Amino acid sequence: MARYRVTAPTFLEAVLREAGEVVDYDGDPGSALAPLDAAARRAVKAYRARRTAVVAASQAAEEQSSAAPFSSPSEE
């Protein structure tokens, strides 16, 4: 399990964790978790890669939809 230091108050698994606490956590590491071991560093790297891919896909979809001509349903 990955080990992190909490850098700001955050909820992990429905428990409020305070800055300075050291926690073992297997979920997606948010910005309030600083990695303390190799497993945590790998988890942070993987999470950031997934988030980057999601943002890129979202931006591409937005650009594609804004480039498409607007069409409205025809009135009969």
How far apart, in Å, are the Cα atoms of 47 and each of 40, 50, 65, 74?
10, 5, 27, 45
Condensed to tens digits (0 to 9), the pLDDT of residues 9-46 reads 999 999 999 999 999 999 999 999 999 999 999 999 99
Residue 22, beta-bridge partner list? 5
What pLDDT, on the 0 to 100 scale, is given for residue 54?
Answer: 84
Condensed to tens digits (0 to 9), the pLDDT of residues 54-66 reads 888 888 888 887 7
